[in-house]
Structure 1
């Protein structure tokens, strides 16, 4: 008999549904077992992410050769432009609709970030380097290897790439559905998401709608440039979308995003460069969500809103969040400084932003990684030789 094979997307959807379904049925000690697994797996992810970036990006740059500097510049410019446009889109849409949906002066001081179920134990697995260190080191090594004629170090990096690929295929991908199940099990058991989401129900609906419109716009542009069906490509990116929905981490979703982008027709060497890079620098979904939440809070608290000041905040946000670690909630943590310095958020409003952002973090992250595929398609088309295009 042939062995029944279930794809990654059905596994992820099933994990989410089971997590929500059993969150209020399982006993507290039983839930702690899955929370313990998630704590250990999160440590493993944190350890693996810099290695994945170093192994994939370095080899991708080296294999591209002399065009590596050009592709790096193109990818960064496209990613930053997409991030800024999403923030402007969110601000002007929010400015048009939020005043009629939000009553100024509504008290929200009772919303706090829940502690969550604690694991029985955890094992610390510190990463060898930070995400940004791995990214910069990948640029330095890759660009130098692209210019060198020597094969010794280049062959060594290819062997390291094989090791990283095996780690992804044999360990991370198979365990992701169980990890996602544990996340939704804990969230449902705590009830922390529902407590926050009921306050912002109408705003969340708009944010989700904006995410969908943003992805359709990004893939329509990518489809025009790459001459492909945008909705077919968007469907092929759904495994990455649902994986990010569960993990709440662009970096942790890199293996799935990479696989989905290649299925969309992006060349492996281009995808191996753009996907890990965009996981760090492309934050359209997060920028859209932070902009909407910040604007909603300011209206709710009766704070004055200056359009020029807010646009300056969006441009700075696109730069600041690049330094965010590849972990859930990293973007909002990196954004707290400019929320205070530019928009004037005090400690209580920063706490509200953290609570609201974390509660909806998975939707913004899913938008980020799905948009990474559109950027990869554009870069792949722009970097193809003219004779290949013809």
Structure 2
């Protein structure tokens, strides 16, 4: 007798349903219903702000401790290339947004949003929950812990504290997976109900739909350029290599997780022709440090919010956010929405409070197309792996790339 598979709805359908229901509730049900939903969202926002500094300590400290291990120059090369790619992607996203977005973000529409936001309903009550440590303190503590544990481990000690970091990381991942991410649709439901009640939601959505198209187009262009550059430098056909990486792209769209896509991506990298030593090192590493798709999305979304509300949005300001976020997203959770959750603590860099309505809009906008950013991340990892392989054999070990039979099935799979 065959087992009946349990149906599980993905995050994107849940978000779409939450947004649609929120709009309907805000427009057609009595205001008290919307106010109840707003109360839930406001208090969940308090919990979110409490968890954010703990996320920083858990993910950044573990990321630094982990990245301090490895093959020396090879590790530095891989991380350096991944970080550079992430910064370039963010800079291109800013250029795209600065060039295109003002042409379809109507000032009158922005005025309508701003005026309507004044009609928002207030929460019935708010729990007085404050973060245990502020964001700056959490970041400094995370770097201090990560660097110290790394040095201790190199001396043969510190394993106990490293295990503590790992377990704390697992605890925060559990909170995200079991509480934060599952409840996000309800959080967004309350906020969209409030925006619908105030009259701002349709103006906001009309702007965001156009932004989606621009972001996904830049994802495709950037990935293609990465493969053209990597193929040119390594002597591989870039379009054939990109075709072999497509299974990873489609897997990431379905899972919305870089970590969950690692096994598929390693196999794609094998078919491209990257040696085992490099692919099994770079692909898992790049899943946490190479985030161009997420950076493109976040930069474009943040620029949109700053422009909409007539806040400073010059490149000098945005590049600070991009540079910090490129580090902060390292070891972000593999669960859907990990990148935007990692970005929230650093929104004050661009003048946006992490618990403000603008942050809510950012979460809503990002999560509704998170899978495309994740897919761009993991597909680009294959290009990074090709470049690292070339650098390793040419500049580190100074010998030709060894021959492998890439046509056979990988016996480890």
Class of the TM-score when normalised by the shorter of the 2 chains: 0.5 to 0.7
Tell me how far 1:200 sits from its aligned partner: 1.4
Task: Look up the match of 2:386.
Answer: 377
On the 8 A contact 1:90/1:288 being kept in 2, the answer is yes
Give 1 or 2 for the bigger CA radius of gyration: 2
Matches of residues 80-91 of structure 1 in structure 2 within 5 Å? 80-91=83-94
1:344 aligns with 2:347: no
The answer to whether residue 320 in structure 2 is matched with residue 312 in structure 1 is: yes
Is 2:217 aligned against 1:205?
no
Show the counterpart of 1:107: 113
Provide TM-score, normalisation by structure 1: 0.61
Do 2:94 and 2:299's aligned partners in 1 also have CA atoms closer than 8 Å?
Answer: yes
Change (3 A) 1:259 1:197: farther
2:235 is aligned, of 183, 208, 227, to: 227
2:278/2:389 contact within 8 Å kept: yes
Contact 1:290 1:357 in 2 (8 A): yes
Unaligned regions of 5+ residues in structure 1, if any? 1-14, 25-49, 62-67, 112-131, 146-182
Contact 1:87 1:314 in 2 (8 A): yes
The correspondence for 1:217, drawn from 203, 206, 225, is: 225
Give the distance between the partners of 1:320 and 1:285, measured in 2 at CA.
15
- Name the residue aligned to 1:257: 265
Structure 2 match to 1:169: none
Runs of at least 5 residues in structure 2 that lack an aligned partner in the other structure = 1-7, 18-58, 121-142, 157-181, 193-201, 403-413
Bigger Cα displacement from structure 2, 257-266 vs 195-204 = 195-204
Q: Does 1:359 align with 2:362?
A: no
Match of 2:308 among 296, 300, 303: 300
Q: Distance in 1 between matches of 2:154 and 2:372?
A: 34
1:316-373 deviations in whole A, cap 9, x for unaligned? 1111111421211011111111112333346110011011111010010000000101
Matches within 5 A, 1:1-390: 61=70, 68-104=71-107, 105=110, 106-107=112-113, 199-345=207-353, 347-384=356-393, 385-388=397-400
* Secondary structure of 1:302 counterpart: coil
Contact 1:222 1:378 in 2 (8 A): yes
Q: Is the 8 A contact 1:244 1:366 kept in 2?
A: yes
Aligned length: 271
Task: State the match for 2:3 in structure 1.
Answer: none
- Matched residues in 2 for 1:310 and 1:293: separation? 11
Q: Over residues 284-339 of structure 1, what are the superposed CA-to-partner deviations in whole Å (9 max), with x where a residue is unaligned? A: 10011000011112222222322211111111111111142121101111111111
The 2-side partners of 1:81 and 1:292 are apart by 18
Check 1:272–1:101 CA distance in 2 against 1; reply closer, same or farther (3 A cut).
same
